Structure 1
Amino acid sequence: MYLLIYIISDSEIVASVAALADGADVLYGAGALLLAVLIVFSIEHEKIINALKPATDWLYDHKLGPLIPIALLIIISFPPLFGHELVEMICGVTWSLPAAFAIVAAGILLGEIANFFTFKFCCSARSKKMEKSKLSYALLAHVVRTGGFLVVLMIRFSAIPPHFATAIFSTVDMSFLVFFAACVLSLPKAFVPVYVGYAMKPSNDDDATSGKIEKIVMIASIGVTVLCLTWIRRQMDAAKPDVIYARRKARQGK
């Protein structure tokens, strides 16, 4: 039930994210699909976990099992793919809490590093064109350039899709060390779906402490995500006059 509340609350965040970027229809579609899958997972989680038990047991029993979710997390770090939350929840179902979080952290960091350098060396020209043609992209790029590490960290904690943010981070001459530090410090965000998966284990059904912790991490996650997204949107709104003026001057100079 608490997972369902968390997911429904997250749908409001998806709507806010879609408003940040052009291509909102794509974000709405992807968000709606993921939301539907997660709701089904929440309602039918006992049946799903029982059905997945042969696969999760196989992953747990094999030494190389952790490499599979790590590889999946790396692959889905590239747009337009998505589904980190599902992989992270399955990790929580499969392994102990420390092991699951370590696996997820490795997959996220490796995926973000690959994403960063792919965009930096292969997509810079396209990103610059998008910055000139799409106001929302230009606003976020401006906020990242002028805001420093704090802005990067806030974006990482917000509901802005990581691959969308990483595409900007990698093409605005950001230091890799700054980017990597923000990725590491924002890893606690991934703890929520991992813990939700862990709490769904049949062995934890009657664990009152596990249930209380689940409520706390969900409420905290929703609060932090909404606050960070609201702060980023305010920064973008504040930067809008300067960005629009600069774009107008650039067009006049042609």
Structure 2
Amino acid sequence: MLDNLLELYAILAVVIGLGILLSVETKNIINDLKPATNWLRDHTFGPLIPIAILIIISFPPLFGQELVATFVGVTWDLPEAFAIVAIGTVLGEIANFFTFKYACSARGAKLEEKNLDYGLLAYVSRNGSFWVILVIRYSAIPPHYATSVFSTVGISFWIFLGAAILSLPKQLVPVYVGYAMQPANDDKDTKVIENVVLVLGIVVTVAAYIWIKRRIKESTPDFIYGRRKARQARQANGGVPSHYVDTNVPSV
């Protein structure tokens, strides 16, 4: 319980710190980015650059999707910015999914046996419903990490894709933060909407994280028991691997 609270406090501290930094340094950030944003807007292929970057950084251990999304929000109007981020996010997640599915399944199986956190997330994902996958996508669990788990535990591509698309509104938060930083949008209404979007984003992320951590905690005894039985079965079979899936775990 203490570890969960510390994780939540760390997440909130980072979010609040970034919010304060953006508020204080908005004008300097905009001035520094102006040459790059003008260049991207003036070129037809400009949107392809952030899309390509989002695809590349979708692979762990790379990170920075939120920063790229904020930059896109600073550069383009809101509809275009969200479309660019949505396309880059979905294409990156698809590439991540198939790369891990066909190149890292064996490593994923080993991690599932040796790493408790990875194994528990894999167990909950495999035995959960579509809604479990969707909640994980909305939680504070890094999307590219979750995708690597989904792909190696046998989650259907179409279930994964549906959850990835339905979780795209989460990307609206950094996009809108960037959009609100544009000088043309420096008005009271935009700031109010920005604050509402930020608060909703934080609430949804924290609520989803708490829910999935609770489900993981509830599944821990079954997971440990199943892993112990799988090891016994593997020893009895001369070392042949055996998955520890409890099909009696109810889906939500």
Structure 2-normalised TM-score?
0.85
Q: 1:210 to 1:66 in 2, by over 3 A?
A: same
1:223 equivalent in structure 2: 203
Deviates more, 1:58-67 or 1:241-250: 241-250
1:75-224 correspondence to structure 2 within 5 Å: 75-205=56-186, 207-224=187-204
CA apart distance, 1:13 = 3.9
Match 1:49 to one of 27, 30, 50: 30
SS of residue paired to 1:100: helix
Give 2:223's aligned residue.
Answer: 243
2:59 aligned with 1:59: no
The answer as to whether partners of 1:157 and 1:189 remain within 8 angstroms in 2 is yes
Give yes or no for contact 1:38–1:86 (8 Å, CA) kept in 2. no
Deviation by residue 1:164-219 (Cα, 9 ceiling, x = unmatched):
100110011111111001010000000000000000111122x1111111111111
- 1:153/1:185 contact within 8 Å kept: yes
Question: Once superposed, what is the RMSD of the aligned Cα atoms?
Answer: 2.1
Residue type at the aligned position of 1:200: M
How far did 1:113 drift?
0.3
- After TM superposition, the runs of 4+ consecutive aligned structure 1 residues lying more than 6 A away are 34-38
Number of residue equivalences: 229
- 131-140 or 117-126, larger mean C-alpha shift: 131-140
Alpha-carbon separation, structure 1, partners of 2:145 and 2:164: 14
Amino acid corresponding to residue 158 of structure 2 in structure 1: L
Report % sequence identity: 59
Q: 1:79 and 1:102 mapped to 2: Cα distance? A: 23
- Partner Cα distance (1:162, 1:101) in 2: 17
CA contact (8 A) 1:89 1:193 kept: yes
Give yes or no for contact 1:14–1:159 (8 Å, CA) kept in 2.
no
1:109/1:14 CA distance change after superposition, 3 Å: farther
Uncovered stretches (5+) of structure 2, i.e. residues with no partner: 1-5, 236-252
Cα pair 1:92 1:194 within 8 Å, conserved: yes
Q: Residues of 1 paired with 2:18 and 2:190: CA distance?
A: 24
Letter in 1 for 2:43: H
Aligned twin of 2:240: none
Aligned AA for 1:219?
A: V
Q: Aligned equivalents of 1:13 and 1:91: distance in 2?
A: 27
- Is the radius of gyration larger for structure 1 or structure 2? 2
